[in-house]
Amino acid sequence: MPAKNKRIAKRNRKRSAPKIRRPAWLELDFARIVWARVAVAGAVTSLAFCAYAAAVWVMDRPIDAVVVNSAFERVSAIEVEEALSAHVQVGFLSADLPSMRAELLDIPWVANANVRRRWPSSIEVLIIEEQPAACWGDAGLLNVDGDLFVAAAQHVPAELPRLSGPPGTEQRVSEMFFSIRQRLEHRGMTAVALRLDQRGAWELELSSGIRVRLGASFVAQRLDRFFDALDMVIAEQSERVDYVDMRYTNGFAIGWKDQEPMRAQFTEEAEPNV
């Protein structure tokens, strides 16, 4: 048989060969296997969720007690109880701890609070009270950060320094005061009051009773000049000094308790300057 005829015959045999197909029952079983696996996965997930829900339901028992680990001086147990009363009516696991902490922070004299669960059914509370660092105005109290945490205290400790200024200047006045007091302490002295008036003028008072008028302009430079004057002139005679007026361009004035005011100057003249 010629080669050409052989190729034609071979091609015809390929065309006439029957195609092998997958049985229908096999395709059906494959689909069933896939759906069975999906069903099993869903059932496992459902069982896990149900087990979790059941565990939560079992453990979310009523809150038996609120344990407060704080030694109160200013905060009362009644205030804490009132702040948490609406939050302890739910279950142990359902209690909203961030909301409970927020309620506690709203209590005057509470600086910080920590709330956590204590197994099996108690809530533990730790409260840190504010430490007053200065009196603001007539009866306000400032903490070490200069925050006004009590606007009208019933009792103001007598040893606290007295600060005052327009509303909203609490931190500014506080920072200025403690900066000045630190410089004074290096010289064995201390400040007891600092006032900022509506015009922006500053007046400082020392524990010796000396009042220092700083004015509203060039306050930093005037403070530096005051400390120079304190070291050179005022410190040795502080018991005789009534006030020191730094509101001059190049000098200062000293008001003596038993004499007429004396003007000192660093250059040839000293002109008043608010």
Note the pLDDT tens digit of each residue in 152-169. Answer: 988 888 999 999 999 999
Is 173 among the domain residues?
Answer: yes
What is the rounded CA–CA span in Å between residue 118 and residue 95?
A: 12
Alpha-carbon distances of 24 from 19, 21, 27, 28, 157, rounded to whole Å: 15, 9, 5, 6, 94
Is 46 among the domain residues?
Answer: no
Residues 151 and 123 in one domain: no
Is 187 among the domain residues?
Answer: yes
pLDDT digits (tens, 9 = 90+) for 23-69: 554 455 555 655 556 555 555 565 544 444 445 555 667 888 888 88
pLDDT at 237: 86
Residues 178 and 105 in one domain: no
Is 43 among the domain residues?
Answer: no
Q: Which two tokens stand for residue 93?
A: 């696991």
Of 94, 129, 164, the one marking the end of a domain is 129
pLDDT at 267: 44
| Whether 170 contacts 147, CB under 8 Å | yes
pLDDT at 268: 38
Mean of all residue pLDDT scores within the chain: 81
Residues 199 and 216 in one domain: yes
pLDDT at 121: 82
Residues 160 and 227 in one domain: yes
Q: Which residues of the chain have pLDDT under 70?
A: 1-60, 260-274
What is the rounded CA–CA span in Å between residue 191 and residue 189?
A: 7
Residues 260 and 139 in one domain: yes
pLDDT at 49: 45
Of 110, 129, 148, the one marking the end of a domain is 129
pLDDT at 92: 80
Residues 157 and 249 in one domain: yes
Q: Is 173 exposed, middle or buried (0-12, 13-18, 19+ CB in 10 A)?
A: buried
Of 111, 129, 147, the one marking the end of a domain is 129
Instruction: Give the CATH number, domain containing residue 167.
Output: 3.40.50.11690
Residues 153 and 240 in one domain: yes
Q: Which two tokens stand for residue 217?
A: 């302009």
Residues 138 and 92 in one domain: no
Is 52 among the domain residues?
Answer: no
Is 39 among the domain residues?
Answer: no
The CA radius of gyration of the chain, in Å to the nearest whole number, is 41
Q: Domain containing 90: what range?
A: 65-129
Instruction: Give the CATH number, domain containing residue 118.
Output: 3.10.20.310
Looking at the 3D structure of the chain, how many domains does it have? Answer: 2
Is 107 among the domain residues?
Answer: yes
Is 154 among the domain residues?
Answer: yes
